[in-house]
Amino acid sequence: MPPRTNTRKRSALDWLRLAVEAATVTLFSTYCAIVLAQVFFRYVLNDSLIWSEETVRFEQFWVTMLATGLCAYRRAHIRLEGFEAVVPRRYRRSVEVFGDLVTIGCCGFLLWYGVELVLASRGTFSPAMQISMSWPYAAMPVGAALTILWTVLAWFGHSEEAHRADPPP
């Protein structure tokens, strides 16, 4: 029997997810390369890269926030699975929705506060690279918005679980 393939057409949400995945992988890869370069420069050449620590810190924040959104798409956030297992079957969906509402509430706060922080930090610049601090702080509202988007869409069957070629038994 030939393997089943997923032949559905890619939507704008699929392209968004692919772009976020690509950005996350790229940021994490450059993060690793910069750390290795910094170690080489510091301990082999006895010279330090003045911008590396700041760059890595900003990239780490972006990777964390983008990956938070990807976890929402994959339904991989920390949940109370032990609690869900002991709750009667008819209430499990309610427990899952409650957890999603808590996630949306927390991310809503991060989105609101993140936008405020981005706007307030437009005139502040990083010490080493001299870039506006709005850029690193923008990770917070972007990641929160992605998490809210994919958490809500999961309610309507738009998650990795719904798009698997071979659904779990």
Confidence of residue 167 (pLDDT cuts 50, 70, 90): very low
Q: Cα(115)–Cα(102) distance, rounded to whole angstroms?
A: 20
Q: What is the 3-state secondary structure (H, E, C) of 84-134?
A: HHHCCHHHHHHHHHHHHHHHHHHHHHHHHHHHHHHHHCCCCECCCCCCECH
Q: Inform me whether the pLDDT recorded for 160 exceeds 80.
A: no
Q: Give the global pTM.
A: 0.80
Q: 165 in a domain, yes or no?
A: no
* Sequence-separated (6 or more) residues with CB below 8 Å from residue 5: 165
Q: Cα(124)–Cα(134) distance, rounded to whole angstroms?
A: 8
What is the helix (H) or strand (E) element at residue 23, kind and residue range?
Answer: helix 12-43
Q: 71 in a domain, yes or no?
A: yes
* Sequence-separated (6 or more) residues with CB below 8 Å from residue 76: none
Instruction: Identify the domain containing residue 148 by its residue range.
Output: 12-160
Q: 126 in a domain, yes or no?
A: yes
Q: Inform me whether the pLDDT recorded for 84 exceeds 90.
A: no
Q: 2 in a domain, yes or no?
A: no
Task: Give 109: exposed, middle or buried? Use CB within 10 Å, 0-12, 13-18, 19+.
Answer: exposed
Q: State the pLDDT at residue 2.
A: 56
pLDDT tens per residue, range 114-159: 999 999 999 999 888 899 999 999 999 999 999 999 999 888 876 6
pLDDT tens per residue, range 93-104: 888 888 889 999
Q: 117 in a domain, yes or no?
A: yes
Q: 169 in a domain, yes or no?
A: no
Q: State the pLDDT at residue 121.
A: 93
* Total number of domains in the chain: 1
Q: 1 in a domain, yes or no?
A: no
